[in-house]
Amino acid sequence: MQAKLYPWHQEIWQNWQQLLGQDRLHHAVLLSAPKGSGKIELAAILAKTILCKNGVTEPCGMCHSCQLFDADTHPDFHWLKPESEGKQLGVDAVRAGNQYAWETSQLGGQRVILIQNADRMGEAAANALLKTLEEPPSHCHFILLSQSMDTMLPTVVSRCNKWKPKLPEETVVKRWVEGELFESVPLQVLRINRGAPLAAKAFIEDGSVGKHKALVDAFAEFVSKKQGLFSVTDLIVKAQQEGLQWLSFLMLDIIKVQQGSDEAIVHCDDMKTVQNLASALPQAKVMSQLMALNRLKAELSKHTGLNSELLISRWLTEFTAS
């Protein structure tokens, strides 16, 4: 796990350093930030510092603990995460974490338990964690990561010291991504990725720009010519949750244009497509389809066994119904 401090985390890190220096860091830190903003790397610096044998406010990078941390073999660092992307964090993983919390540190210092996707814990898992957070063992720190606190059990949130790093302004993110990639970055790439710098960078690197364009174009073609249902369905299914999110942004953009607003349009580099869709579709239809899409997104992320192809094509067909 790479410990790295990105420029937009400076402020929060300085706060933590101050608390570490005064030995006042809360036993459970909850860090909430969008996907692709580098919160894991920030959590890693904190974990490495807590575990370091020499440094108090930053890891020395030299001691046995720091070396073990860098090699991903630290016996007192436990990283709990869902088995795969999109899955929930299981109760078994949380129970294992609870057990580590009560064991004495192998290196005679602290233990750190990092919980990734704390917003994707089922109720049983959240309740299991809650018990430990309520009566925290000494020499143990919890770091919880989430994309949003809204979907977390409020009792868990209330037991944590909450941190929400502010992402930099669009122009700063744009410059940062461009500096990393040595190429110019369309503004809508940042907006599609909610301004999260690493997500925007990955979007370009992994070819999502092309996938996104193909999906939007196919969708626009389907709406205007009422044909190509299978190809657009296929593109959405392949892009999974992300594809549904792109469409959700697109629906919102269409509504904004229909209402005469051009503020914070996500697809700002595809304005012609958005405008064409805005004039081709009745506003009431777009509104109801946006709501249906949000319901569909929630269902598909909750129940993995659903036939996504069927449900998505059914949603698409509604555009052609009068």
By the criterion CB under 5 A, which residues form the site for Zn ion?
A: 52, 54, 59-60, 63, 66
Distance of closest approach, residue 64 Cβ to Zn ion, in angstroms: 8
Copy the structure tokens of residue 159. 């037991």
57 vs 88 by CB, closer to Zn ion: 57
8 vs 16 by CB, closer to Zn ion: 16
CA torsion through residues 52, 56, 61, 64, sign? negative
Task: Tokens 């509504």: give the residue.
Answer: 255
Ramachandran area for residue 33 (φ above 0: left; ψ -120 to 50: alpha; else beta): beta
Residues 6+ apart with CB under 8 A from 91: 122, 124, 125, 128
38 vs 59 by CB, closer to Zn ion: 59
20/284 Cα distance (integer angstroms): 54
On whether the CB atoms of residues 100 and 89 are closer than 8 A, the answer is no
Distance of closest approach, residue 51 Cβ to Zn ion, in angstroms: 8
Distance of closest approach, residue 141 Cβ to Zn ion, in angstroms: 16
110/105 Cα distance (integer angstroms): 6
User: In angstroms, what CA-CA distances link 240 with 86, 150, 232, 236, 301?
Assistant: 10, 23, 12, 6, 10
Distance of closest approach, residue 66 Cβ to Zn ion, in angstroms: 3
CA atoms within 13 A on the CB side of 69: 30
63 vs 209 by CB, closer to Zn ion: 63
64 vs 166 by CB, closer to Zn ion: 64
57/265 Cα distance (integer angstroms): 42
Distance of closest approach, residue 221 Cβ to Zn ion, in angstroms: 57
Distance of closest approach, residue 139 Cβ to Zn ion, in angstroms: 17
Distance of closest approach, residue 306 Cβ to Zn ion, in angstroms: 48
Number of residues written out for the chain: 322
36 vs 59 by CB, closer to Zn ion: 59
74 vs 267 by CB, closer to Zn ion: 74
Angle between helices 229-258 and 283-302 (to 10 degrees): 120
Name the DSSP class of 90.
Answer: P
